[in-house]
A and B are shown apart, each in its own frame.
Chain A
Amino acid sequence: MNIVVCVKQTPDTAATVTVEDGKVSWGDAPLVLNPWDEFAVEEALRLKEAHGGEVTAISLGSEGATEALKQALAMGCDKAILVSDPNFSGLDSLQVSRVLAEAVKKVGEVDLLFFGRASVDSDTGITGSQVARRLGWPALTLVAAIKAIDPGAKTISVERMLEEGRQLVSGPIPAVMSVVKEINEPRYPSFMGIRKASKAEIPVWSGGDIGLTETLESAVTWPEVFAPPKIETQCEFVEGDTPVEIATKLVDRLVEEKVI
């Protein structure tokens, strides 16, 4: 099977993010493979191990933004491609999805295209569905388990995690999938994997390489980012001699403050 995983480079989730001069800053926190995308990479690798084939990781980012791709290679992806062009900086998801869809087409015959559930920086979670729409492939989002896949018959059946419970859906491949953390436990890169990744030459595809040379106009703009107002809470500790006394006092306070 020919599998592609779209991966994004994001700041570590433990980073302290602030706004400096109107721009987001994460200090010297490292840039990593978007944590949600680790599950996508892992699932792609497992399918390859079971059915044979190849896994390619694709990332759209600025020049030199190869940390996420190196991590994907270290986990075991066969190839990595950085899509990068001065014309592609600061795009919204409408245009990111366009670029990714064109890059996937250039990879050739693809059976499955994986996405993470969302980027941990922008928290949008829409790129996968948008790429699916552009490619005309079914979108199987929020997948918690692949129940069956038949590369010969080109069918797949998955379990999706919805607010209302787990939904079983089947459909044809090629298909786009976004995955949730229940699907697997991502592997740690092996020592050999890390060595291989650190030496890998990652090819860069420009707009010209994927047939997108016109200026891409984002539909949305972000006029301002700001830190949320500090929540000034003074914790009122409720004390007493027995649990019953403490509980009763708390309930009285909650009623007084009209919380309940």
Chain B
Amino acid sequence: MTQNILVYIDHFQGSPSSASWEAVGAAKTLAGELGASVTAIVVGAGVEAIAKEAITYGADSGVVADHAEFAEFRPEPYADALSKIAAEADVLLFPTSGRTRELAAMVAVDLDTGISPDVVAMEIDGGAVLSTRPIYAGKLLSKVITREKRPQILTLRSRAFPKPDPDDSRSGDVSSADIAPGEILTKVDGYSEAETGVSLSDAAVIVSGGRGVSNNPSLTPPDDITDEKEQEVWRAQAGFKLIGELAETLNAAVGASRAAVDAGYIPYVNQVGQTGKVVSPDLYIAAGISGAIQHLAGMRTAKTIVAINKDGEAPIFKLARFGIVGDLFEIVPALTQALREKLDK
């Protein structure tokens, strides 16, 4: 019997994530090996266009659960809908996000099946999907398989699978699953200061700063800042301004070490590492970061790492492809300038 692979398309208020298309691409590869079909599932309000878009990325067909009350994501009603749609599926793939982690977890309970989150590789083993996922903050990898139960649920780490190019000539059916949400217990009251700029998890390039970003004694804070701690944060902000300018030139996201976050230089959402975000960009530039094991846990899979540090012995250089031993307050602006000239910005 042909297997069927479902891919859940993750979106924030109607904007699908780029990792969703990576998941469609990965599903397509699996489908080739299993002789299966790929169906994109979208739950939301007015989301038919998203299902059509999924077809351009490689899905054969789409199913939408469309209802005004699905406008704002809540895991419980979404899980109710998805568990109905996916009950007979062989494989259910998700792109990993805060939303899909809880959604996938709940669907696994509903359908009494296994789940493998944060998958970085997949292969077929005896007709089932054998996945590989990092454990112990990436210090080890584990293979995971759901042998008997169906569907096999996997969430794929962003940027672990290539994003296919969309093909507008592809077509397929989009049908509607007639599902209305039941009573929804929670209410979304709003959002406060949404993060601006490029998101860390999706970024192809990341420029990160660490504790070294405050280390510029030649900068004199204004007279009204007398507290030593506040002076340090003031200096760090000057440093992160340079980091930000470099990031902007490269269309990159800004990251940070925990030391920088804990010292109040930059918000926690920017933290990379074991207790922050795990990222896998093509290029990671670390400035003023020593390279503690917990930081490396969050960025060691970056394709190319560039380290800028005053201390030539800093452990970050062990992982770096390119290293500059020097003061980031001199190197970072020079780098921004050189890039602007090269990239004609």
By a beta-carbon cutoff of 8 Å, the part of chain A in contact with chain B is 11, 13-14, 16-17, 19, 24, 35-36, 92-94, 97, 120-127, 129-130, 132-134, 138-142, 157, 159, 161-172, 180-182, 218-228, 231, 233, 235-239, 242-244, 246-248, 250-251, 253-255, 257, 259-260
Contacts and interface: CB of A to CB of B under 8 A. Distances in A.
B136 A129 contact: no
B105 A220 contact: no
B46 interface: no
B188 interface: yes
B161 to A, nearest CB: 17
A125 B106 CA distance: 12
A126 B104 contact: yes
Given A14-B293, A250-B335, A163 B186 contact: no
A140 B75 CA distance: 9
B108 A94 contact: yes
B286 to A, nearest CB: 12
Nearest to B320: A235
B322 A238 contact: yes
A259 B304 CA distance: 7
B194 A120 contact: no
Contacts of A226: 140-141
B interface, how many residues as a size bin? 35 or more
Contact of B192 (A11, A159, A181, A220): A159
B175 interface: no
B115 interface: yes
A123 B134 contact: yes
Contacts of A129: 75, 101-102, 105-106
B139 interface: yes
B189 interface: yes
A139 B75 contact: yes
Contact of B275 (A139, A140, A181, A251): A181
Interface string B257-295: 000000000001100001100000011000000000110
A26 B134 CA distance: 16
Contacts of A231: 300, 319
B187 A171 contact: yes
B97 A163 contact: yes
Interface stretch (B59-67, B145-153, B214-222): B145-153
Given A220-B115, A238-B322, A248-B338, A169 B109 contact: no
A96 to B, nearest CB: 11
Contacts of B304: 254, 257, 259
Contacts of A181: 268, 275
B140 A17 contact: yes
B117 interface: yes
Given A129-B105, A171-B187, A235-B322, A219 B114 contact: yes
Given A141-B102, A221-B147, A247-B331, A123 B136 contact: yes
A237 B324 contact: yes
B145 A223 contact: yes
Given A244-B334, A250-B306, A236 B300 contact: no
A243 B109 contact: no
B112 interface: yes
Q: Which of A142, A182, A243, A246 has the most CB of B within 10 A?
A: A243
Contacts of A169: 186-189
B105 A133 contact: yes
Given A125-B117, A168-B190, A257-B304, A222 B143 contact: yes
A235 B342 contact: no
B345 interface: no
B274 to A, nearest CB: 6
Given A130-B108, A237-B323, A251 B187 contact: no
26 contacts: A13-B137, A24-B140, A120-B274, A123-B117, A124-B118, A125-B101, A126-B102, A126-B108, A130-B109, A138-B76, A138-B185, A141-B102, A165-B192, A166-B191, A166-B192, A171-B187, A172-B185, A228-B139, A233-B319, A236-B322, A237-B312, A243-B326, A246-B326, A247-B338, A260-B339, A260-B343
A137 B250 CA distance: 45
A253 B306 CA distance: 11
B5 interface: no
Contacts of B318: 233, 235
B106 A219 contact: no
A171 B185 contact: yes
B317 interface: yes
Contacts of B194: 164-165
A164 B13 CA distance: 10
A139 B76 contact: yes
Interface in B65-123: 75-76, 79, 97-99, 101-102, 104-106, 108-110, 112-118
A214 B142 CA distance: 28
A253 B101 CA distance: 39
Contacts of A97: 109
A239 B142 CA distance: 40
Interface string B305-342: 11100001000011111111110001101110111001
Contacts of B195: 163-165
